[in-house]
Every structure is written in structure tokens, then in C-alpha cells.
Amino acid sequence: MKTIGYAAKSATENLEPYHFERRELLDNDVAIEILYSGICHSDLHTVKGDWGPQTYPLIPGHEIVGVVTAVGAKVEKYNVGDKVGVGCMVDSCQECDQCHNHEEQFCRSGMTATYGSEDKHLGGLTQGGYSKNIVVREEFVVRVPEALDISKAAPILCAGITTYSPLRKWNVGKGTRVGVIGLGGLGHMAVKLAVAMGADVTVISRSKSKEEAAKAIGAKGVLSSTDQDAMSKASGSFDFILDTVPVKHDFNTYTPLLDIDGSLVLVGQIGPMAEPMTAPLVMGRRRIAGSLIGGIKETQEVLDFCAEHNIHPECEMIKPDEINSAWDKLLSSNPPDRFVIDMSTLSV
């Protein structure tokens, strides 16, 4: 299938239009016309080589929403015209214990990422959602509920599941005292989801400049991490803290905020961090953990949860030729919304 996307030719060049071919449909494949594609901070990290050398040209994008245009002979769940989504992975072994446990992101053989991975079927490099079309095996396609605004649903496929999964895993619910570090693309979704679960949510930020925005989406307020008095008074006041900061930082600032048996879970930065101070961990049986997206079953669950609770990401719609300027904004700040590319304006 001939199509077009926006690709990086190297770690330092801007993304440019790039004509390429998707594989022809296999028996269990679904062909999708991409209508909207979200921009994730990990797109920048990957393309720029922050997480290791890449093969170029590379088309990023793993927050994908579109419509089914064709299905393989053995596809059972989807039909032409269905509204569907694709998240951070497009394949796995489907045979190991983790795959059988609906945790394909931890596949023992390694998941196939939506972009930058080897295609398990035909070889070559997987290319992502900054494109007009994509072909994905049926098991890695999810259904977009009718109650969701399709133009705002794409970020749920990464920002949504990345924050929903640890909230569920650590049993966040009514009355849980939750802190969310950062109010960017991940953080604002974490706030909305935790509030819908019944938690008491506070945003933790370097300043209180985002307090109005935090309260508007359900948070109680903002705790300034640079206000030493406020931080001291908040010691031991959280059961669970979700750290969404996407760059290297000192998480030792936040561990004293946890109550006994509290957990701080990292979902933003992948890479070096400050050396941990063990005293707050040992003295309060506190823990630091990490979490990676979620499985396909759980990804469908978060879409359904968002539909049930009328949760949509805060989105700024852009055209494909505005991708590079959006990346520049992400590099210079952590905006409290998610850029979404309207792919309907891109012609093959």
C-alpha cells in the first residue's frame, strides 16, 4: 500500500513529507486510514536518539485514531467503517506468559513498537502514525467508543493508558490521596482519570502558576515543590504519587511526601535519574517503581472508562506542516495539553 507520512531523516533534521509503502494485508491484518495522530514527548526522545541509535527515515507517532478501510480474510472483530485506534505497540509473540496475561508490553520476546521496530512478519522498520495509513494485526487494534470525540481520543492511546495502568495497578480509588508531578500531556490525563476514580488529587509543580488549570480539571490545587515550608507540611500526605516529568530530575524531593507504604511511580523519564536517598524509603517502607503503558485489554478498558466518564484529553489541533513547530514547543516547555495532528488534510 503506497502512502505518505512525515519522517525524520536524521536525529537533527526537521520532519518532512515522505512517501513509502505499508505491507499488503495478511489474513489477520486491519488497514486503517489515520484521521488523527497525537504527538507524544517520547516521539522526540526516540527520533533524537535520546534512548539509543535509530534507523532513519523514521516516522513517529503511537497515538492513532482512524477508520477501517480493509480487513484480512481471517479478521473477526472489525469491519470496514469501524472507528478504531492503535497505541504504542503493534505486535508481540502472543505465546509467552506476559502475552497470555494481557501484558503484551512486557512480552518475553519484546513487543514490536508502533514505530522504530522490526516488522515480525515481513521485516523492515515499523513506521508510526504521523502518516495517512497504517496496517496492524487485529489483536493490536482497539475500538473507539461512540461516546468519545474522535478528534480528541488519540492521546488516550498513550497518555491515557500510561497513566491509567499504574492508577489501576496501585488500586487508586475513593479517598486515595494522589499526587501528580507535572501537569503536561501525561499529568493532566492522570489528574482527570484519578479524579474519576474518586481520588483526592493534588498537582505537584515547581510553581503555582498552573493552579487554575489544575483545579479546572478536578485537582484540589497545586503543591509547589520549591516552597520548602509547604513541602514540609505536606510530608507523609500522599498514598500514591505519579511522576510524569519526561526529563532527568531529582525524585528525592518527593519521596518524603509519601505516607507509610506509599508508592512513587515513574512514567515520564526513561534514563538517568538522581541518586536515590534511601532514608525516606527505609524509614517509611516507601517504594519507587516504574510503569510502562499497558496491555491491549487494558487499553480498551481506558477508552471505555473515558467514554463512560466523559474524559477527553486537552488537545490543540494542528496540521501536518505544523509538526516541527509543535516539537519546538515541547522541547522548550511542558504544555498542559496534547498536540493532535489532523491527518485528514494529508494527501497521498
122-142 mean pLDDT: 96
What is the band of 340 on the pLDDT scale with cuts at 50, 70, 90?
very high
Is-cis flag, bond preceding 53, omega within 30?
Answer: no
Q: How confident is the model at residue 331 (pLDDT cuts 50, 70, 90)?
A: confident
Report whether pLDDT(336) > 80.
no
- CATH number for the domain formed by residue range(s) 161-290: 3.40.50.720
Single-letter amino acid code for the residue at 331: L
Q: Which parts of the chain are beta strand (E)?
A: 2-7, 16-21, 29-38, 64-71, 83-86, 89-91, 112-113, 133-137, 142-143, 177-181, 200-205, 221-224, 238-243, 258-266, 287-290, 315-318, 338-342
Residue 151 CB: number of other CB atoms within 10 A? Answer: 15
pLDDT band per the 50, 70, 90 thresholds, residue 274: confident
Whole-Å CA distances, 290 to 14, 184, 267, 297 = 31, 18, 6, 20
Q: Looking at residue 196, what is its pLDDT?
A: 98
Short-list 3, 19, 6, CA closest to 47: 6
| Domain limits, CATH 3.90.180.10, in the chain | 2-158+294-345
- For residue 245, the model assigns a pLDDT of 92
CA dist 267 and 244 (Å) reads 5
Q: What is the pTM (predicted TM-score) of this model? A: 0.95
Predicted local confidence at residue 333, as pLDDT = 78
- pLDDT band for position 4 (50/70/90)? very high
Delimiting residues of CATH 3.40.50.720 domain(s) in the chain: 161-290
Task: Give the domain 2-158+294-345 fold.
Answer: Quinone Oxidoreductase; Chain A, domain 1 (3.90.180)
Residue given cell 470525540 in the structure block: 149
